[in-house]
Chains A and B, each alone.
Chain A
Amino acid sequence: MKNSVPKIATRADLDRVRDAARSAPDKDVREKILVCTGGGCMAAGAKAIKTALTGELKKQGLEKEVALVETGCLGPCVVGPVLVMSKERVFYQGVAPADAAEIVQEHIVKGRIIERLAWKEGPHKTPLPLQAEIPFFKRQTKIVLRNCGVIDPNSIDDYIGHDGYQAVAQALFSMTPETVIEEMKKSGLRGRGGAGFPTHLKWAMARKSPGEVKYILCNADEGDPGAFMDRSVLEGDPHAVIEGMLIGGYAIGAHQGYVYVRAEYPLAVERLQRAIEAASERGLLGENILGSGFNFALEIRKGSGAFVCGEETALMASIEGNRGEPRPRPPYPALKGLWRRPTVLNNVETFANVPFIIARGGAAYSALGTERSKGSKVFALAGAITISGLVEVPVGTPLEDLIYEIGGGIKGGRNFKAAQIGGPSGGCIPREHIAVPLDYESLNALGAIMGSGGLVVMDESACMVDVARFFMEFVQEESCGKCVPCREGTKRMLDILNKICAGDGCPEDLALLQELGGQIKAASLCGLGQTAPNPVLSTMRHFRDEYEAHIVHKRCPAGVCAALLVYSITDACTGCGACKRACPSAAIAGSAKVKHIIDPALCIRCGACFKACKFGAVLKA
């Protein structure tokens, strides 16, 4: 670490650093290459591209004129590694190290756009080089992700240069804790972790709770499978989370904060740690911040792989060094939380909204969204969608727009079947409700929840009974075991679902699932159990015919549940013998160049023949 970095001791210092950061690079640098180093692009080899570009720029003697910046997630993970040429915001995708020479030669030296690396849109694969023209970006409104793909997450100066820490300065010098909370109220921000509890109410309760010592916690234990927005914010804009927590700490009167991060996110931990060190070194964390007299320290606590620790009281138990088991509420954490002190817990996305709300005003935030759900929401698109990745849209945007206009529709031109939203606590939205506006109320009405915003899109190849079974297995394994309804109830529900998928279901099972589900929801101790039956109940509601096909007709319409499949060979068979060789149970007979047949009595339904056939002649139904 460099020594003698000047402290930012006053508000005027902050402004000076901001102005310096804004003007400094423009003197010599005529182009900045923003290389996405979000988790997805890193896995696709972003570091190697940066190394290749560094070498190429040096070779051409351009290293002073062209800056290479590592930036956070740009969004469309599936076409990564991606980068942006910042001057005109030209977007390049699927970049390989071998492309470095062409990028430098063509784009930088000759000023010509490389169409080969540009975004391709529509059935004619029209190249769209400018980021502003690409529908995936055009339809988004970025508040939480405002700096992701714009700044270098490892540079505090870059963050300050983009008005970073201005909101906390404004709060400390021009606002009282009460007016901060008032502004949060105007914004209408609701917790982005799942339940959607109004943030200002949590803050106001903790503010009013008696006690000298209070805590503010950030929930970065993003456990819902299918959600990765918190990871991307921590990796792409860690200072925004720190600033949000500083403002929250000031509002409730806390001087110590903890960020509880999943152990599965090593890169997020590394970048957040570096950001905390930089902020502490510059005096933006610690004693007497900006000379205001306000003290605030921040620490990271790493999770150890327990899904239930995303529940607030379990998370606190884990920070305290205990087994991550929830406890009954009340008392609510705002009164008695971490170490029995008044505590506020918000998630990463919630905190990342806070600097925007304070800097631009609550009204600017609440101008977005619907009557009762304000602002913007980040969604993680995954599954059978063409452009999987991270998007941010105003709350209330129809699901259909998200999938077809932003996400490019279903992969391989197949048909949409359902979207699973809200992870193991959520539900499935079927085709007939694809126009549903994505807001808290509309989703609840369909038996789903907004949750953390993970959206897994499924096409016809997904079996909804199997998906429900998958989630039940998940919550069963992750149930901490403290309360009986969750521990035993989820086990019973899973047994029934396994039975149905194995072809042993009986008509009474559906009523039993319904009844058990209702009891688990009503009687469980924490959010995990209270929402665990949702995926089953919602699929039973919207896809009842599929359950009935499994139970009554012993068929899996999607062809997923192995025990219910019947394999047969069609006339497309060329008699090549590949299936016969692949079959582990000698169930296939036939001589060379003659159509083969499967003996259903010997078939163990493993699907080896289906995979081995190169002519699509093996049918499963």
Chain B
Amino acid sequence: MNPHGKTENALPEVLTGNSEAEFITSIIAPYRDMPGALIPLLQAVQQKFGYLSDNALRSVSDGLGLPLAKVFGVVTFYSFFSRVPRGKFLIRVCLGTACYVLGAADVLDCLQKELEIGVGQTTSDGIFTLDVGRCFGACGLAPVIMINDTVHQQVRPSQVPKILAGYRKSLLSALENGQ
């Protein structure tokens, strides 16, 4: 179960059961010899599953022989780690200085209205998660938003619907092609 109580369609392939444990067992070997392996391992697990479930934290704790409390403490410290499933596309609105003075707050408002969610939430269809960021180093192109690893520059609120539609379309065509 995930805290949103919705596990149907469009969420990452596997969310429950032993798959995280299996995945972690399959990749753990090099991490056991690596000094300071906890964070890189957590990053790899999140990369694969999109978030870090209770099961994942337990398996990481077992795999590295670290107390679960320690793993939990690290996960909750860093803003990139998510304890809840996230959408297919993670939208991050930069609220760095340059973006802020050039109207990033309006872009964020518009995204919240379009997606009907707040910051940190995921749309009910599991497609978009909305978050804010602290400078992506694209200040020359402010205001910017980052969707997964792609930077969109000089975004005006009026462009938001079109940008979102583009991502919905790409997801649909991927589904049609059976991916």
Contacts and interface: CB of A to CB of B under 8 A. Distances in A.
A263 B74 contact: no
Given A302-B43, A319-B36, A388-B140, A224 B78 contact: no
A383 B151 contact: no
A226 B38 CA distance: 30
Contacts of A323: 73-74, 77
A321 B153 contact: no
Q: Which of B78, B95, B96 has the most CB of A within 10 A?
A: B96
Query: Nearest 7 pairs between A and B by C-beta?
Result: A225-B96, A77-B140, A304-B78, A228-B137, A382-B139, A382-B98, A225-B135
Contact of B97 (A262, A321, A322, A420): A420
B135 A226 contact: yes
A287 interface: no
Contacts of A232: 137
B97 to A, nearest CB: 4
12 contacts: A39-B137, A39-B151, A44-B141, A228-B138, A266-B149, A304-B39, A304-B79, A305-B78, A305-B134, A320-B35, A467-B97, A470-B100
A380 interface: yes
B139 A388 contact: yes
Interface in B1-58: 35-40, 42-43
- Chain A at the B interface: mostly helix, strand, loop or mixed? mixed
Q: Which of B96, B98, B134 has the most CB of A within 10 A?
A: B98
B77 A321 contact: no
Given A454-B97, A458-B101, A228 B79 contact: no
Interface in A465-479: 467, 470-471, 474, 478
A458 B6 CA distance: 45
A339 B73 contact: no
Please classify how large the interface on chain B is, using the bins under 10, 10 to 19, 20 to 34, 35 or more.
Answer: 35 or more
A302 B40 contact: yes
A184 interface: no
Interface of B: 35-40, 42-43, 73-74, 77-81, 95-102, 133-142, 144, 146, 149-153
Q: Which of B78, B102, B140 has the most CB of A within 10 A?
A: B140
B100 to A, nearest CB: 6
Contacts of A474: 134
Contacts of B38: 321
A321 B74 contact: yes
A301 B39 CA distance: 9
Interface of A: 39-40, 42-44, 76-78, 80, 222-228, 230-232, 262-267, 301-307, 318-325, 339, 380-384, 388-390, 420, 423, 454, 456, 458, 462, 467, 470-471, 474, 478, 480
Contacts of B140: 40, 76-78, 228, 380-382, 388-390
A383 B104 CA distance: 12
A428 to B, nearest CB: 11
A423 B100 CA distance: 13
Contacts of A265: 136-137
A454 B139 contact: yes
B36 to A, nearest CB: 4
A325 B38 CA distance: 16
Nearest to A232: B137
Contacts of A318: 39
A320 B139 contact: no
A301 B78 contact: no
Nearest to A304: B78
A321 B139 contact: no
